[in-house]
């Protein structure tokens, strides 16, 4: 049985109480609204307390609510509302599949795309059936594998930066999460693409068999890692084999100080001011902004950061981009027009 | 007592965030207990981490020192640990120790480690409604009711249809009664 057909039959294995919950929600919907059952129960990872996940898809316009919830003794019902147009847009973004298009996307997009791929239609309109037909499970797995790899690479860079700054607790937290992303990427490449780091053990168990050598190898470094932070970072670096195209996509991003932004750097605080907004920058962002304020380009600022913290240029570029995200969002940093020119 | 509209809005934001976190505690309990029953140790360990992080943020919300939630989980956890350490270095150190602990191999040991996290959140951080799934469900429901009462008094618009009632005769129970019924089934 293929993985896709497994999901279609999974609904038949659900308990009658769960099926009754699903049917009750679907029965209360207008005729123009579609309903899809999905989530860990459909994927086959469910347990006695797994929630019942339902997607309610509106044919036209924007739903007036985003979620609804229902409490039961053993589980809860989690209903998400969405428009068909938003799913068309999601399908188009995922179909692109390039690093440049995948890297900026957010985790919920991959989560929703995958869940729609495995979703079991309870009732659908013709138009929504057409839309759902554009959701491809192989695309979901492949895109998530790439995106999770990019996230793992980003965590390696952030961990290296934290270690260089002497912030070992931060480095430990980041490293643990990075290991989960790397393992999730590997599993997605091997067909276990259900997003969500919390399901790593179940995915590895289904793929390799719980307790097997391959299972232990992929799970242990995430949940019971051995060695110093430096040793663990080196191990993760070796496993995060970022392709040249990904490295290029990550390094190709750049921005500049907005002309109205002024940078004030003190001993303990680094403050940026723009119009009536003030932002305090952390050490990585401050280091980059300090260079940008002297008229250097983003690439030069990243190179200076790499030298200062003894990072590779790729890792410095990724860490710099991550830790300046808020400054870009608030307009302190803007598109690098000099580069575009 | 609120002195002006800015204080009120800030207080409402904090209450709303607190209620979201109460829902999160409840969801982590569902995950943890389901994972223990189905022998899914990695899911149980992740839920334990979620209970700890959520408990810290609930503590910080109570003293109005929680920052805006961050999308990145690692950065969020680092921010929570940093804020807690500023309030109390000892609590921060204990939380960091609990967080950095490697997962034990035996499911029973995961249960014990999770009990230690719950005790820390309840006793040391002083967070109520974290002792059991039933308590977490009630804390969330009470929080929703409080927020909706406030919204009604203030004349703020409230969404309908946000709650999916269990199958029952129409119109006999409120959403709150429905949740309490579900809790009662946990402890008949």
pLDDT, tens digit (0-9, with 9 covering 90-100), for B59-99: 999 998 999 999 999 999 999 999 999 999 999 999 999 99
Q: How far is A281 from chain B (nearest CA, A)?
A: 14
**Do residue A240 and residue A261 come from a single domain?**
no
Domain end (from A230, A249, A268): A249
Compute chain B's Rg from CA coordinates: 18
Measured between alpha carbons, how far is A202 from A140 in angstroms, rounded to an integer? 18
Write out chain A residues lying below 8 Å of B26, CB-based. Answer: 76
Give the residue extent of every domain in chain B. Answer: 5-186
Domain end (from A209, A227, A249): A249
Write out chain B residues lying below 8 Å of A223, CB-based. Answer: 42, 45, 102-103
Is B21 at the interface with chain A, CB within 8 A? no
Measured between alpha carbons, how far is B72 from B171 in angstroms, rounded to an integer? 42
Write out chain A residues lying below 8 Å of B30, CB-based. Answer: 49-51, 75-76
pLDDT at A224: 96
Instruction: Record the pTM.
Output: 0.94
- Beta-carbon separation of B38 and A201 below 8 A: no
Is A223 at the interface with chain B, CB within 8 A? yes
Is B40 at the interface with chain A, CB within 8 A? yes
Given pLDDT bands bounded at 50, 70 and 90, which one contains residue B156? confident
**Do residue A201 and residue A240 come from a single domain?**
yes
The two three-digit tokens of residue A71, written as one number: 């409490």
Test the B interface: residue of A24, A40, A169 with most B CBs within 10 Å: A169
Test the A interface: residue of B98, B161, B164 with most A CBs within 10 Å: B164
**Do residue A81 and residue A32 come from a single domain?**
yes
**Cα A67 vs. chain centroid, distance in angstroms?**
21
**Do residue A220 and residue A280 come from a single domain?**
no
The two three-digit tokens of residue A339, written as one number: 């580069």
Contact B95, B81 (CB under 8 A): yes
**Do residue A172 and residue A184 come from a single domain?**
yes
pLDDT at B11: 86
Write out chain B residues lying below 8 Å of A222, CB-based. Answer: 42
Rounded mean pLDDT of B4-13?
81
Indicate whether B30 pLDDT > 60.
yes
CB-based contacts of A33, cutoff 8 Å, min separation 6:
A56, A57, A58, A59, A125
Q: Check which CATH number belongs to the domain holding A195 and give it.
A: 1.20.120
Residue of A39, A21, A76, A46 whose CA lies nearest to B186: A76
Given pLDDT bands bounded at 50, 70 and 90, which one contains residue A340? very low
pLDDT at B10: 85
Which residue range(s) make up the domain with A266?
Answer: 253-340
Rounded mean pLDDT of A247-258?
90
Indicate whether B144 pLDDT > 80.
yes
Write out chain B residues lying below 8 Å of A173, CB-based. Answer: 74, 77-78, 81, 99
Indicate whether A11 pLDDT > 90.
no
Interface of B with A in 63-102 (CB under 8 A): 71, 73-74, 77-78, 81, 96, 99-100, 102
Rounded to two decimals, the ipTM of the complex is 0.93
**Do residue A120 and residue A171 come from a single domain?**
no
**Do residue A87 and residue A57 come from a single domain?**
yes
Indicate whether A331 pLDDT > 50.
yes
**Do residue A109 and residue A192 come from a single domain?**
no
Indicate whether A276 pLDDT > 80.
yes
Q: Check which CATH number belongs to the domain holding A116 and give it.
A: 3.30.460.10
Burial bucket for residue A100 (CB in 10 Å: 0-12, 13-18, 19+):
middle
pLDDT at A34: 97
Contact B40, B68 (CB under 8 A): no
DSSP string computed for B60-113: HHHTT------SSHHHHHHHHHHHHHHH-HHHHHHHHHHHHPPPPSSHHHHHHH
A6-20, A125-139, A159-173, B6-20: least confidently modelled range: A6-20
Residue of A108, A117, A120 whose CA lies nearest to A140: A117
Residue of B nearest to A326 (CA): B70
* Tally of structural domains, chain A: 3
Test the B interface: residue of A105, A108, A167, A173 with most B CBs within 10 Å: A173
- Number of helical H runs and strand E runs in chain A: 18, 10
**Do residue A308 and residue A266 come from a single domain?**
yes
Q: How far is B78 from chain A (nearest CA, A)?
A: 6
Q: Enter the DSSP assignment of A317.
A: H
**Do residue A168 and residue A114 come from a single domain?**
no
Domain end (from A214, A234, A249): A249
**Do residue A208 and residue A259 come from a single domain?**
no
**Do residue A272 and residue A259 come from a single domain?**
yes
As beta bridge partners, residue A120 has: A37
Is A68 at the interface with chain B, CB within 8 A? yes
Backbone angles phi, psi at A121, to 5 degrees: -65, 125
Q: How far is A230 from chain B (nearest CA, A)?
A: 15
Write out chain A residues lying below 8 Å of B162, CB-based. Answer: 65, 67-69
Residue of B nearest to A151 (CA): B72
């Amino acid at each position: 049985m293929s993985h896709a057909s497994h999901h279609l039959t999974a609904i038949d294995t659900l308990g009658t109480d769960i099926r009754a919950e699903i049917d009750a929600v679907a029965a209360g919907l207008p005729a123009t609204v579609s309903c899809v059952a999905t989530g860990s129960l459909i994927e086959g990872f469910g347990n006695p307390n797994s929630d019942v996940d339902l997607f309610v898809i509106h044919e036209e316009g924007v739903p007036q609510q985003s979620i609804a919830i229902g409490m039961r003794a053993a589980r809860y019902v989690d209903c998400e509302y969405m428009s068909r147009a938003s799913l068309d847009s999601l399908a188009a973004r995922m179909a692109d599949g390039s690093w440049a298009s995948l890297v900026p996307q957010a985790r919920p997009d991959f989560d929703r795309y995958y869940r729609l791929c495995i979703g079991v239609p309870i009732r659908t309109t013709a138009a929504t059936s057409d839309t759902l037909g554009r959701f491809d499970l192989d695309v979901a797995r492949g895109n998530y594998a790439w995106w999770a790899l990019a996230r793992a690479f980003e965590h390696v860079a952030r961990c290296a930066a934290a270690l260089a700054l002497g912030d070992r607790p931060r480095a430990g937290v980041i490293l643990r999460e990075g290991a989960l992303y790397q393992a999730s990427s590997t599993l997605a490449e091997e067909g276990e693409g259900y997003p969500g780091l919390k399901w790593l053990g179940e995915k590895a168990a289904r793929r390799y068999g719980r307790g097997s050598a391959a299972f232990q190898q992929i799970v242990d470094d995430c949940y019971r890692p051995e060695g110093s932070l430096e040793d663990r970072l080196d191990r993760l670096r070796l496993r995060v084999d970022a392709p040249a195209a990904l490295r290029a996509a990550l390094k190709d991003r750049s921005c500049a100080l907005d002309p109205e932004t002024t940078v004030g750097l003190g001993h303990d605080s680094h403050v940026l001011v723009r119009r009536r907004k003030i932002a305090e920058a952390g050490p990585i962002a401050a280091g980059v902004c300090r260079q940008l304020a002297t008229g250097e380009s983003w690439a030069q600022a990243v190179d200076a950061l790499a030298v200062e913290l003894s990072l590779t240029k790729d890792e410095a570029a990724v860490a710099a981009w991550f830790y300046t995200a808020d400054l870009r969002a608030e307009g302190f940093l803007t598109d690098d027009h000099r580069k575009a020119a | 007592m609120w002195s002006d509209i800015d204080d009120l809005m800030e207080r409402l934001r904090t209450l709303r965030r607190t209620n979201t976190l109460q829902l999160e505690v409840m969801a982590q309990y569902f995950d943890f207990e389901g994972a223990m029953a189905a022998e899914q140790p990695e899911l149980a360990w992740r839920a334990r981490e979620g209970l700890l992080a959520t408990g810290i943020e609930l503590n910080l919300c109570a003293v109005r020192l929680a920052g805006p939630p961050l999308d990145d989980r690692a950065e969020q956890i680092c921010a929570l640990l940093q804020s807690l350490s500023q309030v109390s270095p000892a609590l921060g150190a204990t939380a960091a120790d609990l967080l950095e602990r490697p997962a034990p191999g035996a499911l029973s040991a995961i249960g014990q480690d999770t009990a230690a996290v719950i005790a820390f959140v309840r006793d040391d951080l002083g967070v109520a409604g974290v002792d059991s799934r039933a308590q977490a469900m009630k804390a969330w429901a009470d929080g929703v009711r409080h927020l909706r009462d406030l919204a009604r008094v203030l004349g703020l618009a409230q969404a309908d249809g946000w709650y999916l009632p269990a199958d029952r005769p129409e119109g006999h129970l409120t959403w709150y009664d429905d949740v309490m019924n579900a809790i009662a089934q946990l402890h008949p």
